[in-house]
Structure 1
Amino acid sequence: MSSITLSMIVKNEEKHLFDCLKSVKDVVDEIIIVDTGSTDKTIEIAEQFGTKIFHFNWINDFSAARNFALSKSTGDWILYLDADETLDPGSKEKLKDICKSNFNHGVRCKIYNLDDINKKPKLQSYTRLFKNSPGIEFRGKAHEQIDASLIEKNYKIIDSDILIYHFGYNIPKKALKEKAKRNLELLLNDYESNHSGYNAFQIANSYNILNDKQKTFDYFKLALEDKNLPNEYRSLALSSIAEYYLRINNINDALISIDKSLEVDPLNIVSNLTASEIYFKAKKGSEAVSFCINAFEENKKGITKKSNSRLLDIFYDEEMILYHGLHISYLSNEQTGIEYFFNKLEDLKTRDKLLWQKELDIIQHLTSNSVLSFEQINFITDLISDYNI
């Protein structure tokens, strides 16, 4: 019977570590934890699960810490998690079954990044499970990866339905910016010696979180120069570039970029939503509505299944897409869109009929240019949040 090692690096993870280890304790045979300087109860929590604990002086390099943990791991298979992640209960037997194999495989797992605050969860596919053998190493000072090393060792990378929940981005915007700043410094340092499209893509994402739109644009352009950049990433980079052009009112280049994005990846939810905005601005209402419908349908499928063979999907709050679609449909006088989005909203709102009736009255007032009452204005004020404003 093959043995499985959980390999982790941690620092001040008392908030999440217990749930993480609890989710895998009856799946793995060995738990290796490398601590990089915790000052809270992280070590105490780890000890409750019979872990082997090692210490590593932090040198601003996630791969260095990961590789140290890997050097201490003795299992036939390696599963690596972050402390703010948990294994889905339904994935335990799937993981065990895969590890019965003796093939040199790297196994892509589905990472579902929860985001209850900003309402933009992500589903990503990363290699998190692999057959252990000498010479395998993580690379990258931030957003470290194992795939390149596995491929060099003639491993086969396979997809799986193993689902891992990640809570690390389910944090307020201020904390998200602090995390982006930390990663950006490491990524820029790494990029000096490794001009990969993946590194440039991650740098662009960090600048985007920090609201530096020019540098976001610049690094997405650099990412596109890498012919090996996966289509899901390429499409998102093109979509962000199109959004940048839209912001400076360069509609022609925005249309060119978003069309390229959708040519690369027609199922990209972000690109379809961005296309709806750009085509609406270009006074092409019918196409704008169609793109918004595509975005809603793909979003619905992805959120429901939480499983596909794609490397990256970003999801949105359903209401946000529906109100956006209704908005552009009314302004474009597209009756098909009005009916579609209105009916979908009604289906969604049946859980709270009184609330929906209030929203419906406001929609009817606004579309007929009627004056809202103070009660209706107060109702709208209560509905507004950072993510939907």
Structure 2
Amino acid sequence: MTTVTLCLIVKNEEDCLKRCVDSVRDVVSEVVIVDTGSSDATPKIAGGLADTYAEFPFQGDFSKARNKALSLASGDWVLFLDADEEVPATSAEALPGLLANAAPEVGGMTLLRYNFFRDAGFYTTPELKLHRRRPGVRYERAINESLWGSIVGAGAEVAASGLVLNHFGHCRSLVSREEKAARYLATFETESARDPADPFFPAFRALILRTLGRFEEARDLAERARSLAPDSALINMFYAHVTRALGHPERTLAAYQHALSLAPDDPALLNMTGVALLEAGRADAAAEFFNAVARVDPTYIHARINLGLVAQAQERWSDAVELFAEALAANPAFGHYDWNSHLEIDPFRATHFETPFGYRGLGYHLAYSRMRAHQQEA
């Protein structure tokens, strides 16, 4: 039987730690939790949830903390989550069979992570969360830490799992989000000074500055990153994200199309090209790209939401209802909504979203389309 260890490093996560562990408790063999310096009830909660609990004071290096947790794991595979993440039931149920049948050359797997905001907006990131436990496989880099290089360096492959993961870190208060952004900016700036030729550090700084509304600085850094890696589809996509925040629809579309030319089957780029087309008022063309996303990678469930928004723009209300309902059934977290979002003044969060500007959350669009469909039928 294939065994799985759930690993977490935590600090002041009393509000969400139990939900995270509970989301996968039935499909993992053991739970390892390492606390890096909590001042709330997290250590007590973690001690009750974990099979192995340890404390490891944070030293400014996330890889060191994660590798401490890995050193305590004993499973064939490791699922490494953050406390503000939860695995939806359908993905959790599929996990044991997925790992039992994994090809021997696969050393790690990504999950598509949906990063939600309080107002139900979201963006996605493929995250390397699953890996075969091997002595030489360890996290690298102090921040934006990753196992990718270690796994590939050991002669193994990283594959897409076809599973999804929900992340609610952006549902914290605006103050805490901005404090975290400031910490990450400082760390990325330090790392960039150490390795000025690495395009990812200015690229990630650009994305963070975009979230703070510092668009001109973000543009300069995004352009610097692109000059360092002109043929990288990912770096060019980051540049397009920043361009979109500046409010230039045609320039944004051109930037996404250029990135897509470097990676024609990339589902994230197909989706964002469709978003740019829809924002430019070209709904029919946008639909072609959203349909392509669904063919290339069904894990990108939000392609159905964007197709629903196309139907809404074309006043095909029944079609919109069907598409929105399908997305909600596939991942109920799309229905997440916190009324406190109305109390925040955060005009820049929508620059993250992988839906057109004006998206109000799936619950709103589903309810409105149902109302209009009913009126249309009356």
Deviation at 1:133, TM superposition (A): 0.8
Q: Which residue of 1 aligns with 2:354?
A: none
Which protein is bigger by CA-based radius of gyration?
1
Q: Which residue of 2 aligns with 1:52?
A: 52
Q: How does 1:177-192 map to 2 (within 5 A)?
A: 177-192=178-193
TM-score of the two chains, using structure 2 as the length reference = 0.72
Correspondent of 2:201 among 199, 202, 226: 199
Structure 1: distance between partners of 2:299 and 2:180? 28
**Would the aligned equivalents of 2:115 and 2:122 in 1 still touch at CA under 8 Å?**
yes
Amino acid at match of 1:204: A
Deviation at 1:152, TM superposition (A): 0.7
Q: Which residue of 1 aligns with 2:22?
A: 22
C-alpha distance 114-10 of structure 1, shift in aligned 2 (>3 A): same
SS in structure 2 opposite 1:7?
strand
Q: Which residue of 2 aligns with 1:234?
A: 236
Q: Which residue of 2 aligns with 1:224?
A: 226
Q: Which residue of 2 aligns with 1:108?
A: 110
Q: Which residue of 2 aligns with 1:210?
A: 212
**Would the aligned equivalents of 1:61 and 1:140 in 2 still touch at CA under 8 Å?**
yes
SS in structure 1 opposite 2:138?
coil
Q: Which residue of 2 aligns with 1:260?
A: 258
User: Is 1:124 paired with 2:116?
Assistant: no
Q: How does 1:282-301 map to 2 (within 5 A)?
A: 288-290=280-282, 292-295=283-286
Amino acid at match of 1:44: K
Please say which of residues 94-103 and 210-219 is displaced more in the overlay.
94-103
SS in structure 2 opposite 1:48?
helix
Structure 2: distance between partners of 1:3 and 1:346? 45
Amino acid at match of 2:127: Y
**Would the aligned equivalents of 2:230 and 2:236 in 1 still touch at CA under 8 Å?**
no
C-alpha distance 255-40 of structure 1, shift in aligned 2 (>3 A): closer
Correspondent of 2:315 among 328, 343, 354: 343
Q: How does 1:34-49 map to 2 (within 5 A)?
A: 34-49=34-49
C-alpha distance 306-14 of structure 1, shift in aligned 2 (>3 A): farther
Q: Which residue of 2 aligns with 1:148?
A: 149
SS in structure 1 opposite 2:141?
coil
Q: How does 1:312-351 map to 2 (within 5 A)?
A: 341-344=313-316, 348=320
**Would the aligned equivalents of 2:308 and 2:319 in 1 still touch at CA under 8 Å?**
no
Deviation at 1:257, TM superposition (A): 3.8
**Would the aligned equivalents of 1:236 and 1:261 in 2 still touch at CA under 8 Å?**
no
User: For structure 1, which runs of at least 5 residues remain unmatched after alignment?
Assistant: 278-287, 323-338, 351-384
Structure 2: distance between partners of 1:306 and 1:52? 40
Deviation at 1:62, TM superposition (A): 1.3
Amino acid at match of 1:150: I
C-alpha distance 63-23 of structure 1, shift in aligned 2 (>3 A): same
Deviation at 1:261, TM superposition (A): 3.9
Q: Which residue of 2 aligns with 1:31?
A: 31
Structure 1: distance between partners of 2:163 and 2:244? 34
**Would the aligned equivalents of 2:112 and 2:163 in 1 still touch at CA under 8 Å?**
yes
What do residues 14-38 of structure 1 show as CA deviations (whole Å, max 9, x unaligned)? 1100101111212111211110111
Q: Tell me how large the CA RMSD over aligned residues is.
A: 3.7
Report % sequence identity. Answer: 25
Amino acid at match of 2:258: K
Deviation at 1:113, TM superposition (A): 1.5
TM-score of the two chains, using structure 1 as the length reference = 0.70
Please say which of residues 29-38 and 194-203 is displaced more in the overlay.
194-203
SS in structure 1 opposite 2:131?
strand
What do residues 209-266 of structure 1 show as CA deviations (whole Å, max 9, x unaligned)? 122112211221232245497525522423523654839xxx8x66754552454467
SS in structure 2 opposite 1:167?
strand
Q: Which residue of 2 aligns with 1:358?
A: none
Q: Which residue of 2 aligns with 1:13?
A: 13
What do residues 336-386 of structure 1 show as CA deviations (whole Å, max 9, x unaligned)? xxx972414686589xxxxxxxxxxxxxxxxxxxxxxxxxxxxxxxxxx96
Q: Which residue of 2 aligns with 1:80?
A: 80
